[in-house]
Amino acid sequence: MGAEAQWARAVIALHLACADPGGLGGVLLRARAGPAREAFLRALEHGSARLHPAMPEDALFGGLDIDATLATGRIELRAGLDAHDGPLILPMAERTPPRLAARFAGMLDARRAHPLIALDESAGDEERVPPALADRLALHVDLEAVPLAAIGPVETPLPGPAALPRAQDAQIAEIAGLAEAFGVPGARAGWLALRAAAAHAALKGRAVIAAEDIELACLLVLAPRATHLPEPGAPPAPPQPEETRDPGSEAESLPEDNPPTDLPIEAVLAQLPEGMLARIAARKARAARGTGTGDARIGNRRGRPVPPRKGRLGGTARLDLVATLRAAAPWQAARGRPKGGPLRIRPADIHLRRYEQPSDRLLIFVVDASGSAAMTRLAEAKGAVELMLAAAYARRDHVALIAFRKAEAEVLLAPTRSLLRTKRQLAGLPGGGATPLARGLREALEMAKSARRRGMTPTLAILTDGRANIALDGTADRGAAASDALDMARAIRASGMEALVIDSGTRPEPALRALADAMQGHHFALPRADAGRISAAVSAALDA
Amino acid sequence: MTQPFPFSAIVGQDDMKLAMILTAVDPSIGGVLVFGDRGTGKSTAVRALAALLPPITAIEGCPVNSASPADCPDWAGITTNRTHEIPTPVVDLPLGASEDRVTGALDIERALVDGQKAFQPGLLARANRGYLYIDEVNLLEDHIVDLLLDVAQSGENMVEREGLSIRHPARFVLVGSGNPEEGELRPQLLDRFGLSVDVTSPADIDLRIEVLRRRDAFENDNAAFMLRWQAEDATIRDQILSARKALRDLAPDEAALRDVAELCLALGSDGIRGELALLKAARAYAAFRDDTAITRTHIRAAAPLALSHRMRRDPLDEAGSEARVGRVIETVLG
């Protein structure tokens, strides 16, 4: 399927979202900045408001207008952008923190009169649009692969809310069948697909929903949420509605040439964008990753108090009353405060509370799953990670898992607190192959850096028997492999990560001690390690 | 949307509905935790419950919905004795709520404008005598969780800050929902929920169709749909009201107590809270079904709700704890 069709579908999605903003919520547009996205957003130029995930909450959802309140001496409220009479555009939707996503979800549940267009600009698996938000935006489209040549005009003006035709019973059954066939979780998506089909029929000026509408709804709503592909050739047939059901006018308005449709799965599959099939197939593994959502590090709500600082009252900051009064006090005479009158406070006087908070710890396990380690140690390493997980669970640590074998290092688990997921990933960890230690370390360093950007304190725990034999560039060269591993170790030290190396070989390996020294980390030789001892060693090193 | 989706019209999810009804019959059971996929009607059920519950009588203008003037906190300055009927409060605690909004805080607006030191009640005050609903409870920030644990334990909210010293009753049924794939719940908070249920996506296609059908009727044929289901809702409401009355006369006999204790022992559930929750849930269930004694039927039905989240769990044991509870029920109760 071509890029033109993909572009056309994105345009249809926009029109649908405008035709039924309350029901469909809006569009989740996967596109980084580029001509396609610009062309798409140009249609929204007039009347739309741009949001940003980093906006203070009172700007988004309204609150006290401090400046006006202090100036007038009366309580002045200001409306948030959620009250804006027009479409809302949310760039960098993947950066939306969970608490903001919850507010947006509430806003969408309350049914706005205009759609929300969320732009997903995530670069990899590491980030994703919070599911609470993504799930409520009915239409998911991808402009990533649309080249300049494929971009057509977007018809404006955009349609307004339209009266939607009602689905027939058979069509309800059909959409339910499609949702089932694509393994779409939850019940919301089915309903959204139904609305999308009805909206498309309305846009086309039809009084009844046609097969074409359902096909489109399936493409825009159901297929992007699929967890598995329908069995080709054996679509689960929806049960035919009983004859007695709904004998009303709808059945009579059914056009003659519209026989009870077969599931249009084949048609839908044929039109899915390239790469979508592969992505759906990989969805299971991917769904198990995502970001481990935890607490945001917010400097003004808990922890050890640090001196207050000037600032503006957003939705979440807390006023430091004493500091504010202290800042205002010297100026009272200059501001002409009458004797006994109320204090004259200006917005510039406002001081906020700030707190310092120890950040969450992230334990990154880098596990050697190579052939030399696999037979004897992999099971033990798994056991140790499981025990550590149980301990981390109690301490509210985050955990991540990287395995290296053959020529590759693979992130099996992005930072998470979910034990369920970790357990599953761990159980499926294969073993065998060469030992690309340097790649494992590089992967771990990258993850640690990105975790630190998100405010966590990463610690690396490296489990290996130390016989590195694959260099960073993928060649099988022992000498290069060892020096690459040492280089990576130095890089880890340079970035100031805490690290410990657990030597799981049958005989302690001097190279690993050197590695640990290069990282300025702890080193443990555990010739006959069992899971319990590894776990105890790691805990002891961490608590030291 | 003026009216929420009717409670009785929710397709399937019987465990969730039962758990919510039981807490409505006996609020002291202590809350429901609903864990499961997105879009499975968790929020819908809570909103529906709010519409289903019988109204409460409260003093006019009281910020904590007190039943009598004596219960009104003195800082509210309530002088009237008049009461009015209000719907049972169902208060949303949004994920991003600040501590100030939850507990209440100095009224900054009045402090800035009038220089007055006044208390602005928070969500906990509004939820008193009703429900506090937390969507995505597993993503709630730790300091809010700490605060909730404290209040849920004591039934009282105390605010000591900015020169304020305020306390008011805060007794509410905690309803939490979330998706376990996105994060675990702290064991301390887990234990605080009386009942827990796992909800799943509709398993078969007929259910999916029925979900869509009812939703379609709700949106497009609202009047007839509400008429049809509000009658059912009214039936449930009456049952809840009569069950509340019946609760007093339902005392567990020796055999029931023994069953409950044996079940909890066999499951190795921590502490005594499990026994109490199970007993209360079984009693509420018996009352709801208008039965005159607590029997094994009731205990059997209530046990998965009351116990599956409190077993001393190997946090890595993947086999659903519900399955384990089921097995133990079979062996203990036969």
Tokens for A427?
């159980």
* Structure letter (DSSP) for residue A121: -
Q: What is the mean pLDDT of residues B198-209?
A: 83
Query: Would you mind telling me the total number of residues written for chain B in this entry?
Result: 334
Q: Is the dihedral of CA A476, A479, A480, A481 positive or negative?
A: positive
Q: How far is A292 from chain B (nearest CA, A)?
A: 7
Q: What is the mean pLDDT of residues B121-133?
A: 89
Could you tell me if B199 lies within 8 Å of chain A, comparing CB atoms? no
Which segments within A46-112 are labelled E, that is strand? 49-50, 63-64, 77-78, 88-90
Q: Is the dihedral of CA B136, B142, B144, B147 positive or negative?
A: positive
ipTM of the complex: 0.78
CA separation for the pair A188, A199 (Å, rounded) = 16
Q: Which helix (H) or strand (E) holds A116?
A: strand A116-120
Q: Which residue of B has its CA nearest to A421?
A: B181
So what's the pLDDT on residue A273? Answer: 58
Q: Is the pLDDT of residue A227 over 50?
A: yes
Q: Is the pLDDT of residue A40 over 90?
A: no
Q: What is the mean pLDDT of residues A372-379?
A: 60
Could you tell me if B224 lies within 8 Å of chain A, comparing CB atoms? no
Range of lowest pLDDT (A260-264, A426-430, B311-315): A260-264
C-beta atoms of A131 and B43 within 8 A: no
Range of lowest pLDDT (A364-378, A395-409, B99-113, B300-314): A364-378
Provide the annotated active-site residues of B.
273
CB atoms within 10 A of CB A509: 19
Residues 6+ apart with CB under 8 A from B202: A187, B11, B12, B40, B208, B211
C-beta atoms of B98 and A318 within 8 A: yes
Range of lowest pLDDT (A81-95, A317-331, A482-496, B28-42): A317-331
Better-scored residue on pLDDT, A186 or A307? A186
Q: Measured between beta carbons, which residues in chain A are less than 8 angstroms from residue B1?
A: 110-111
Q: How far is CA A307 from CA A79, A320, A323, B3, in A?
A: 31, 10, 9, 48
Range of lowest pLDDT (A218-227, A299-308, A407-416, B219-228): A299-308
Q: Which residues pair with B58 in a beta bridge?
A: B84
Tell me the per-residue pLDDT of A434-477, one tens digit each, with 9 for 90 and over. Answer: 888 888 888 888 888 888 777 778 888 888 877 778 887 777 78
Which of A74, A172, A188 is the closest to B209 by Cβ? A172
Which of B112, B135, B208 is the closest to A70 by Cβ? B112
A324 alpha-carbon distance from chain centroid: 38
So what's the pLDDT on residue A159? Answer: 82
Q: What is the mean pLDDT of residues B19-37?
A: 88
Domains of chain B with bracketed CATH: 7-95+123-199 (3.40.50.300), 254-333 (1.10.8.80)
Q: Which residues pair with A304 in a beta bridge?
A: A356
Better-scored residue on pLDDT, A141 or A284? A141
Which of A73, A132, A186 is the closest to B136 by Cβ? A132
Tokens for A140?
């998911």
A365 residue type, one letter: F
C-beta atoms of A342 and B115 within 8 A: yes
CA separation for the pair A387, A218 (Å, rounded) = 44
* Structure letter (DSSP) for residue A93: G
Backbone angles phi, psi at A315, to 5 degrees: -75, -25
Confidence band for A512, pLDDT divided at 50, 70 and 90: confident
Q: How far is B325 from chain A (nearest CA, A)?
A: 19
Could you tell me if B92 lies within 8 Å of chain A, comparing CB atoms? yes
Q: How far is B252 from chain A (nearest CA, A)?
A: 37
C-beta atoms of A239 and B209 within 8 A: yes
So what's the pLDDT on residue B112? Answer: 67
Q: Which residue of B has its CA nearest to A315?
A: B98
CA separation for the pair A298, A295 (Å, rounded) = 8
CA separation for the pair A501, A511 (Å, rounded) = 11
Confidence band for A231, pLDDT divided at 50, 70 and 90: low
Q: Provide, rounded to the nearest whole percent, the portion of chain B with pLDDT above 90.
A: 10
Range of lowest pLDDT (A168-182, A253-267, A526-540, B232-246): A253-267
Show the 3-state SS of chain B. Answer: CCCCCCHHHCCCCHHHHHHHHHHHHCHHHCCEEEEECCCCCHHHHHHHHHHHCCCEEEECCCCCCCCCHHHCCHHHCCCCCCEEEECCCEEECCCCCCHHHHHEEECHHHHHHHCCCCEEECHHHHHCCEEEEEECHHHCCHHHHHHHHHHHHHCEEEEEECCEEEEEECCEEEEEEECHHHCCCCHHHHHHCCEEEEECCCCCHHHHHHHHHHHHHHHHCHHHHHHHHHHHHHHHHHHHHHHHHHHCCCCCCHHHHHHHHHHHHHHCECCCHHHHHHHHHHHHHHHHCCCCCCCHHHHHHHHHHHHCCCECCCCCCCCCHHHHHHHHHHHHHC
So what's the pLDDT on residue A234? Answer: 43
Tell me the per-residue pLDDT of A389-401, one tens digit each, with 9 for 90 and over. Answer: 677 666 667 888 8
CA separation for the pair A487, A490 (Å, rounded) = 5
Show the 3-state SS of A318-361. Answer: CECHHHHHHHHHHHCCCCCCCCCCCCCCCHHHCEEEEEECCCCE
Q: Provide, rounded to the nearest whole percent, the portion of chain B with pLDDT above 70.
A: 92
List the strands of the sheet with A457-464, edge to edge.
A408-416, A398-405, A361-368, A457-464, A498-503, A522-525
Mean pLDDT across chain A: 75
Q: Which residues pair with A462 in a beta bridge?
A: A366, A501
Residues 231-250 of B with CB under 8 A from A: none
Tokens for A237?
């047939």
Residues 6+ apart with CB under 8 A from A107: A61, A82, A116
* Structure letter (DSSP) for residue A506: S
C-beta atoms of B212 and A172 within 8 A: yes
Which segments within A434-536 are labelled E, that is strand? 457-464, 498-503, 522-525
So what's the pLDDT on residue A265? Answer: 64
Residue A16 near residue A193, CB atoms below 8 Å: no
Q: Is the pLDDT of residue A240 over 70?
A: no
Could you tell me if B334 lies within 8 Å of chain A, comparing CB atoms? no
Tell me the per-residue pLDDT of A302-321, one tens digit each, with 9 for 90 and over. Answer: 555 566 777 777 666 777 77
Q: Is the pLDDT of residue A294 over 50?
A: no
Q: How far is CA A215 from CA A169, A271, A401, B6, in A?
A: 16, 10, 40, 31
B48 residue type, one letter: A
Residue B141 near residue B43, CB atoms below 8 Å: no
Tokens for A255?
């056009």
Q: How far is A483 from chain B (nearest CA, A)?
A: 38
- DSSP, residue by residue, A190-238: HHHHHHHHHHHHHHTT-SS--HHHHHHHIIIIIGGG-SSPPPTT-PPPP
CA separation for the pair A466, A435 (Å, rounded) = 8
Domains of chain A with bracketed CATH: 1-160 (3.40.50.300), 162-234+259-288 (1.10.8.80), 304-356 (no CATH), 361-543 (3.40.50.410)
Q: Is the dihedral of CA A102, A301, A290, A538 positive or negative?
A: negative
CA separation for the pair B279, B282 (Å, rounded) = 5
Residue A399 near residue A413, CB atoms below 8 Å: yes
A196 alpha-carbon distance from chain centroid: 24
Confidence band for A198, pLDDT divided at 50, 70 and 90: very high
CA separation for the pair B50, B48 (Å, rounded) = 5
So what's the pLDDT on residue B203? Answer: 75
Using alpha carbons, select from A495, A530, A529, A489 the residue that is nearest to residue A511: A489
Angle (deg, nearest 10), helices A478-494 and A437-453: 20
Backbone angles phi, psi at B137, to 5 degrees: -60, -25
Using alpha carbons, select from B226, B235, B216, B8 the residue that is nearest to residue A245: B216
Residues 6+ apart with CB under 8 A from A442: A409, A472, A488
Residues 6+ apart with CB under 8 A from B204: none
Residues 6+ apart with CB under 8 A from B317: none
Q: Is the pLDDT of residue A276 over 90?
A: no
Which of A106, A131, A194 is the closest to B212 by Cβ? A194
Residue A518 near residue A484, CB atoms below 8 Å: no
Q: How far is B141 from chain A (nearest CA, A)?
A: 5
So what's the pLDDT on residue A275? Answer: 56
Q: Provide, rounded to the nearest whole percent, the portion of chain A with pLDDT above 70.
A: 74
Tell me the per-residue pLDDT of B170-188, one tens digit each, with 9 for 90 and over. Answer: 888 889 888 776 666 777 7
Q: Which residue of A has its CA nearest to B181?
A: A418
Q: Is the pLDDT of residue B221 over 80?
A: yes
CB atoms within 10 A of CB B107: 17
Q: What is the mean pLDDT of residues A76-83?
A: 78
Q: Is the pLDDT of residue B124 over 70?
A: yes
Residue A476 near residue A470, CB atoms below 8 Å: yes
CA separation for the pair B313, A17 (Å, rounded) = 46
Q: What is the mean pLDDT of residues B276-304?
A: 90
